Amino acid sequence: MTTTTAPTPSNPATSHPSEAFARHPAPAISARGATKIYGLGDTRVVALNQVDVDFAAGRFTAIMGPSGSGKSTLMHCMAGLDTLDDGDVFLGDPSSETSTALSELSERQLTHLRRDRLGFVFQAFNLIPTLSVAENITLPADLAGRGVDQAWMNELVSMVGLGDRLSHRPSELSGGQQQRVAVARALATQPEIVFADEPTGNLDSRTGAEILEFLRHTVRSMGQTIAMVTHDPVAASYADRVVFLADGSVIDELYDPTPDAVLDRMRHIAR
């Protein structure tokens, strides 16, 4: 695995307008008292310790922290990929009667929720090698037994710049192109929130910047909600807000982040 640092956004002053973004819209997904424990006795590890956190609708949130801080565990539990030992995750505003508590769902219902209402982008792309680009993009909708709206499909393909690659297999694409396919697949069902786990970790700096710019574009232009785990201060600077974890707890947050401001917070946490 090659880990790279994406270039700094070209115009941070206009990329992070605080008046427009650093406020408090309704949450798209929330954790309340989220607790996750691994092991027993001497091997007991509290990965999440009574975490309360909201990810705002229509915003790009980065999740950062030292190794072992609980950032990946938090994302996996909020995405329904892992279960909490205590507390709950709510899709939608937890104060609303229309929100969905993940703890109340059966495994079958969780599967449907992940497929129909959430999107995922992983570091390793996770494309199906025997399927074409077009088939990989529409896979979640195909599994649900419904088609992707063709106008939306055309827009996605245009946005990710893969119109001449739809019949290709993943092995015929570059790493950046494969991740573009993965992003398009995550957006194909128009999910309420996209979870991205180190989405640029396997990419060179230029390609990583292109992916981050595209993710930010979906937030700015389409109102998409994105939560991204990253270790990279430059990648985090593409977000509207950074949430910092340490020892399983949320200890800080930063709006309108710059690479230097994020790095300074991380150094403070390390001390």
- The domain limits of the chain are 25-124+194-270
Angle at 57 between CA 265 and CA 36, to 5 degrees: 60
Q: Mean pLDDT across the stretch 4-33?
A: 61
pLDDT of 22: 45
pLDDT of 142: 87
pLDDT of 159: 83
Q: Mean pLDDT across the stretch 265-271?
A: 88
Is the predicted pLDDT of residue 14 greater than 80, yes or no?
no
Tens of pLDDT, residue by residue over 170-209, are 999 999 999 999 999 999 888 999 999 999 988 888 889 9
How high is the mean pLDDT of the chain? 89
Tens of pLDDT, residue by residue over 201-218, are 888 888 899 999 999 999
Is the predicted pLDDT of residue 63 greater than 60, yes or no?
yes
CATH T-level fold of 25-124+194-270: Rossmann fold (3.40.50)
Is the predicted pLDDT of residue 119 greater than 60, yes or no?
yes
Could you tell me the two tokens for 159? 């946005």
pLDDT of 8: 52
Could you tell me the two tokens for 144? 């649900």
Confidence of residue 16 (pLDDT cuts 50, 70, 90): very low
pTM for this one?
Answer: 0.87
Percent of residues, the chain, with pLDDT higher than 70:
91
Is the predicted pLDDT of residue 1 greater than 90, yes or no?
no
Confidence of residue 23 (pLDDT cuts 50, 70, 90): low
β-bridge pairing 241-246 and 60-64? parallel
pLDDT of 118: 94
Percent of residues, the chain, with pLDDT higher than 90:
68
Q: Mean pLDDT across the stretch 130-146?
A: 90
Is the predicted pLDDT of residue 5 greater than 80, yes or no?
no
